[in-house]
């Protein structure tokens, strides 16, 4: 399954324990000829957890987390504008993740105080996010320290719920689903939490984030076909009381993967159908 890219082994960071106070979606409109070049250029940025190319209003969505507003400002106002082909940059602030990390971390771990980590801890997290099976002795050699020190640090990060090394499923390949949409939803402000709870009950909804600006909610939907996606949006999402507008942003390619929970029931059902 690893060789077929159905799954990967990664360290999934707990943004709340790391102290990422600013979680954002950077929405970009880019000259189509420069899309791949831009994705490659920002791929290794440790603050960027996911890069997705899209059809629609924006053609790239970048999911990123920062400890300070200055770090966010640097990439949005200083670094990205220097890339050729960028026509528009819009920053959508995530206020809360309603359906995402709760299958990995306890509610206490997602609401507790940040843990103090140093530069080496950050480097280890970065390496393990790329490959959770990385040889720790190789990391020790790369960062000029001992294997024992790296082992202790990684164990402490896991124990303190800063990271969890886990299987990250490639939901598109694993489920055989081809239609992935990022639904940007405008809703009645007083019903945001209630609508998020309603959305969370749908197994087709794999992640939910509340936003501060432009939209109220961003929900990631994975479906078997565009026909079923169309029906789901029109017959279920749009019919929820308090939903004013649904703006589907259709995913083209996942350039940098982040954690998305898939239930075991969905995986087993898919293989039984095959």
Q: Percent of the chain beyond pLDDT 90?
A: 58
**Can you point out the beta strands (E) in the chain?**
7-13, 22-30, 48-55, 60-66, 86-99, 163-169, 179-187, 205-211, 217-223, 243-256
What confidence score (pLDDT) does residue 267 get? 42
CATH domain 119-159 topology = Arc Repressor Mutant, subunit A (1.10.10)
Specify whether the CB–CB gap between 219 and 267 falls below 8 A. no
Beta bridge partners of 8: 168
67-103 residue pLDDT tens:
899 999 999 999 999 998 999 999 999 998 887 777 7
Specify the CATH number for 7-103+169-273; select among 3.50.50.60, 3.40.50.10490, 3.30.70.3460, 3.30.565.10: 3.30.70.3460
């Amino acid at each position: 399954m690893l060789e077929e890219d159905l799954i990967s082994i990664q360290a999934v960071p707990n943004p709340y324990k790391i102290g990422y106070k600013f979680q954002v979606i950077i929405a970009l409109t880019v000259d189509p000829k420069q899309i791949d070049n831009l994705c490659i250029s920002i791929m290794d940025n440790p603050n960027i957890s996911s890069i997705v190319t899209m059809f629609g209003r924006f053609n790239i969505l970048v999911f990123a987390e920062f400890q300070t507003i200055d770090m966010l400002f640097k990439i949005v106002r200083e670094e990205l504008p220097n890339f050729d082909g960028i026509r528009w940059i819009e920053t959508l602030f995530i206020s809360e993740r309603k359906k995402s990390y709760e299958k990995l971390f306890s509610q206490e771990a997602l609401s507790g105080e940040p843990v103090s980590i140093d530069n080496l801890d950050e480097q280890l997290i970065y390496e393990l996010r790329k490959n959770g099976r990385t040889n720790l002795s190789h990391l020790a050699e790369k960062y000029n320290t001992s294997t024992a020190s790296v082992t202790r640090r990684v164990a402490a990060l896991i124990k303190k719920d800063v990271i969890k090394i886990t299987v990250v499923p490639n939901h598109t390949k694993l489920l055989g689903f081809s239609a992935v949409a990022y639904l940007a939803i405008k809703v009645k402000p007083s019903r945001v939490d209630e609508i998020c709870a309603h959305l969370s009950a749908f197994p087709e909804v794999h992640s939910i984030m509340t936003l501060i600006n432009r939209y109220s909610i961003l929900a990631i939907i994975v479906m078997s076909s565009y026909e079923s996606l169309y029906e789901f949006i029109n017959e279920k999402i749009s019919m929820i009381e308090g939903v004013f507008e649904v703006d589907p942003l259709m995913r083209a390619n996942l350039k940098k993967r982040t954690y998305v929970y898939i239930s075991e029931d969905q995986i087993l059902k898919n293989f039984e159908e095959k």
